Structure 1
Amino acid sequence: MVHQYKMGGMNIVIDVYSGAVHVVDDIVYDVIENYKKMSKEDLINNLSSKYDKQAILESIDEVNELVDKELLFTDDTYKEAILEFKKRQPVVKALCLHIAHDCNLSCKYCFAGEGEYHGDRSLMSSEIGKKSIDFLLENSGNRRNLEVDFFGGEPLMNFEVVKDIVRYGRSKEKEYNKNFRFTITTNGILLDDEIMDFINENMYNVVLSIDGRKEVNDRMRCSKNGKGSYDIILPKFIKMAESRNQENYYVRGTYTHYNLDFAKDVLHFADLGFKQTSIEPVVAPADMPYALQEEDIPYLCEQYDILAEEMIKRKEENKDFNFFHFMIDLSQGPCVIKRLSGCGSGTEYLAVTPWGDLFPCHQFVGIDEFKLGTVDEGITNTAVRNTFKECCVYSKEKCQNCWAKFYCSGGCTANAYQFHGNIYDTYEIGCELERKRVECAIYIKAKEMLK
């Protein structure tokens, strides 16, 4: 499978199954486009009105050489391997601890219902947190590096328990030969110097929730009395980023139908000095006024183009920054198995509620049919776990002919369930935007490599 596109005056060709990326001239681009459709003679006749015959012949030879080297039109040799890999007994490597099913903001697009997750407001106890750590230790097999994300609601509303869990995890590392990587996601309202110091000392990463420009953020991320959060959190987030030397954090926003020009929000963060940024498309039912619509897609794709060109320009000016969805490693990156099997929700990655119930990920919390078990009993609903275990790009019909499947791993199972009631489906708007982001990411990398 091959994908071709033009961007910024470059002709880019991606060979899906080898992972090779080629930047080619116009003749080779046109030869590749017709290579599988036409004989050599037909190729020459078809292209002779545009190019010299000798140049066409040389281009065909170049393409033949790439095919012989298995860098173009390579076969899919991964299907059987990934299906066999999926039969393994899974080990848990990461937990999302719902420290607080409560929040001090009332964000309009919140999938968690202001932190309640279809249930009562509740805070996790130290006891449940420690049992969660024990569950992870006992179910992580030989994996040494384990990840624990403190999530909510707003986890800083229960920060003393966060500290207890971190200390407990650290006390177990040597005994079990494990290394915990703790992370936390916060809206910043309660962030202060003492909390910052603890986070910097103990957290591998920190996610700082803010949507962008003041008017954009305050429209969606406001308190229960309608007051915006921007002026409160921005100085704290700037200080937090600087205190971490602009590494191991990111400011994370959500763009909606209200700010389709989201590239301005990304660049707003860059102008404020933030070096690590992620702004994600909202996922919401189509009847919500802030939901993205199919007719928004062309404009959103233009925004990604604008952002890619601006990032290239700023890097040349030594004003570079990272945008999460454009970060791609063409030389190594995740292994093929990881690329094809996805995020590991329901198997390697689980969410824990404040009372100790286990769910496939934070977006499934509160949907009873997806409850997997408890931290006391372990995973008892093996049927649901097996459903997630078998989910990969080869079990999703819509992924079969998609050139980007090695980059998105089949997309988000929660989004698929939300829109189609089936984790083996896909969220179409998300797919369109992901393909565009991958094109931009590869374009940026190609520009860098050619220089």
Structure 2
Amino acid sequence: MVHQYKSNGYNIVLDVNSGAVHVVDDIVYDMIPLAKESSFDEIADQLKNKYQEDALKEAFEEIKELEKEGLLYTEDIYQDYIMDFKKRETVVKALCLHIAHDCNLACRYCFAEEGEYHGRRELMSFEIGKKALDFLIQNSGNRRNLEVDFFGGEPLMNFQVVKDLVKYGREQEKIYNKNFRFTLTTNGILLNDDIMEFANKEMANVVLSIDGRKEVNDKMRPFRNGTGSYALIVPKFQKLADSRNQTEYYVRGTFTHHNLDFSKDVLHLADLGFKQISVEPVVAPEQEAYAIQEEDVNRLLEEYDSLAAEMLKRNKEGKSFNFFHFMIDLEGGPCVAKRLSGCGSGTEYLAVTPWGDLYPCHQFVGEEQFLMGNVYEGVTKTDIRDEFKLCNVYAKDKCKDCFAKFYCSGGCAANSFHFHGTITDAYDIGCELQRKRIECAIMLKVAQAE
């Protein structure tokens, strides 16, 4: 499979199955769709009014050499491999600990219903959290590196338990020869110097929630009395980002139908001094006023192109920053199994509620049909795990012939379920935006390589 596109003055050709990226001239670009199945004479006849025969012959030979080297027109050899890989014994490597089903903000798009997750407000006890870490260790097999994200609601509303669980985890590392990578996602309202100091010592990554410009953030992320949160959190986030040397954190925002010009929010965050930025589209039922609509897509595609072009400009000016969705590794990156099967939800990665129930991920919490077990008994509904275990790009008809499949891994299972009632479909708007993000990411790599 070959994907071709033009971006920012570059003719880019992606050989999907090998991952090879080629930047080519116009004649090679025009010839590649023809050269797989057609002879040189047939191609020359089609393009004779546009290019000279000598140039056509040289381009044809170049294309055939790339094919011979396994860098063009390569076949997909991974379907049997991923099915065999999925038959292996499942180990759990990561937990999303819902340390607080409560929140001090009332974000209008929150899938967690201000922290309640279709249920009740509750804070996780140390005992439940301890059992969750025990469950992770006991089900991690020979895997040494384990990940735990403190999530909510707002986890800092239960900060003492966060501290106690980190301490417990560090004790267990020594006993079981494990290494915990703790992360924290916070809206910043309760951030103070003591919490920052603790986070800088113990948290491998911190996600700081902010949507961008003041008017955008305060419209969608207010307190329950309607006042905005921007003025309170920005100085705290700037201080924390600087204290972490502008690494190992993200300011993470959500854009909606109300701010289709989201590139301005990304650039606003960059202008505030943040170097690690993630702003991504809201996923919401189409009847919600803030939901991304199909008619918004073309505008959003243009926004991504505009953002990529501005990032190139800023790079040259020495004002670079990282945009999470444009970060791509063309040389290494995740292994093939990871690329084809995604985040590991329902198998390697599970979410834990404050009362100890296990779900495939944080976005399934409260969907009772996906309740998999609990931290005391473990995964008792193995049929749910097995369903997620078989969820990969080859289980999704929309993914099989998509050039992005090795980069997006088939998309989000929760989005698929919420829009189509099955985890083996795909959220169509999300797919369109993801394909554009990948194109922009590759273009940026091409430009940086010059």
Structure 1 residues 230-283: Cα deviation after superposition (integer angstroms, max 9, x where no partner): 001000000010010000000000000000000000000111110000001000
- SS of equivalent to 2:99: strand
The aligned counterpart of 2:81 is 81
Structure 1: which amino acid aligns with 2:23? V
Structure 2: which amino acid aligns with 1:320? S
* Matching of residue 444 in structure 1 with residue 444 in structure 2: yes
- How far residue 318 of structure 1 moved from its aligned partner, in angstroms, is 1.0
The aligned counterpart of 1:328 is 328
- SS of equivalent to 2:95: strand
Q: How does 1:97-112 map to 2 (within 5 A)?
A: 97-112=97-112
Give unpaired runs (5+ residues) of structure 2. none
- SS of equivalent to 2:235: helix
The aligned counterpart of 2:21 is 21
Instruction: Find the aligned partners of 2:79 and 2:23 in 1 and give their Cα distance.
Output: 28
- SS of equivalent to 1:302: helix
The aligned counterpart of 1:63 is 63
Structure 1 residues 332-384: Cα deviation after superposition (integer angstroms, max 9, x where no partner): 11111110011000000000000000000000001111011000000000000
Instruction: Find the aligned partners of 2:261 and 2:18 in 1 and give their Cα distance.
Output: 35
Structure 2: which amino acid aligns with 1:361? C
The aligned counterpart of 1:270 is 270
Instruction: Find the aligned partners of 1:39 and 1:68 in 2 and give their Cα distance.
Output: 16
The aligned counterpart of 2:310 is 310
The aligned counterpart of 2:366 is 366
The aligned counterpart of 1:283 is 283
- SS of equivalent to 1:44: helix
Q: How does 1:197-346 map to 2 (within 5 A)?
A: 197-346=197-346
- How far residue 104 of structure 1 moved from its aligned partner, in angstroms, is 0.4
Structure 2: which amino acid aligns with 1:129? G
Instruction: Find the aligned partners of 1:277 and 1:447 in 2 and give their Cα distance.
Output: 20
- How far residue 406 of structure 1 moved from its aligned partner, in angstroms, is 0.3
- SS of equivalent to 1:129: helix
The aligned counterpart of 1:163 is 163
Instruction: Find the aligned partners of 1:172 and 1:183 in 2 and give their Cα distance.
Output: 17
* Matching of residue 193 in structure 1 with residue 193 in structure 2: yes
Instruction: Find the aligned partners of 1:33 and 1:219 in 2 and give their Cα distance.
Output: 47
The aligned counterpart of 2:134 is 134
- SS of equivalent to 1:21: strand
- SS of equivalent to 1:212: coil
- How far residue 38 of structure 1 moved from its aligned partner, in angstroms, is 3.0
- SS of equivalent to 2:149: strand
- SS of equivalent to 1:205: strand
Structure 2: which amino acid aligns with 1:15? D
Instruction: Find the aligned partners of 1:10 and 1:277 in 2 and give their Cα distance.
Output: 25
The aligned counterpart of 2:407 is 407
The aligned counterpart of 2:10 is 10
The aligned counterpart of 1:40 is 40
Structure 2: which amino acid aligns with 1:340? L
TM-score, normalization by structure 1: 0.99
Structure 1 residues 118-163: Cα deviation after superposition (integer angstroms, max 9, x where no partner): 0010000000000011000000011111000000000000000000
Give unpaired runs (5+ residues) of structure 1. none
Identity of aligned residues (%): 68
Q: How does 1:377-392 map to 2 (within 5 A)?
A: 377-392=377-392
- SS of equivalent to 1:274: coil
Structure 1 residues 100-127: Cα deviation after superposition (integer angstroms, max 9, x where no partner): 0000000000000110000010000000
- SS of equivalent to 1:147: strand
Instruction: Find the aligned partners of 1:337 and 1:62 in 2 and give their Cα distance.
Output: 32
Instruction: Find the aligned partners of 2:398 and 2:39 in 1 and give their Cα distance.
Output: 30
Structure 1 residues 267-317: Cα deviation after superposition (integer angstroms, max 9, x where no partner): 001111100000010000001000001111111011111111111111111
Instruction: Find the aligned partners of 2:304 and 2:329 in 1 and give their Cα distance.
Output: 19
Instruction: Find the aligned partners of 2:239 and 2:398 in 1 and give their Cα distance.
Output: 44
The aligned counterpart of 2:50 is 50
- How far residue 42 of structure 1 moved from its aligned partner, in angstroms, is 1.4
Instruction: Find the aligned partners of 1:401 and 1:314 in 2 and give their Cα distance.
Output: 35
Moved over 4 A (4+): none
Instruction: Find the aligned partners of 1:265 and 1:224 in 2 and give their Cα distance.
Output: 23
The aligned counterpart of 2:94 is 94
Instruction: Find the aligned partners of 2:199 and 2:70 in 1 and give their Cα distance.
Output: 47
* Matching of residue 121 in structure 1 with residue 103 in structure 2: no
Instruction: Find the aligned partners of 1:73 and 1:225 in 2 and give their Cα distance.
Output: 58
Structure 2: which amino acid aligns with 1:57? K
- SS of equivalent to 1:227: coil
Structure 1: which amino acid aligns with 2:180? F
How many residues align structurally? 450
- SS of equivalent to 1:41: helix
Instruction: Find the aligned partners of 1:35 and 1:291 in 2 and give their Cα distance.
Output: 43
- How far residue 37 of structure 1 moved from its aligned partner, in angstroms, is 4.7
Structure 2: which amino acid aligns with 1:168? Y
- Which deviates the most, 159-168 or 40-49? 40-49
- SS of equivalent to 1:113: coil
- How far residue 36 of structure 1 moved from its aligned partner, in angstroms, is 3.1
RMSD over aligned CA atoms reads: 0.6
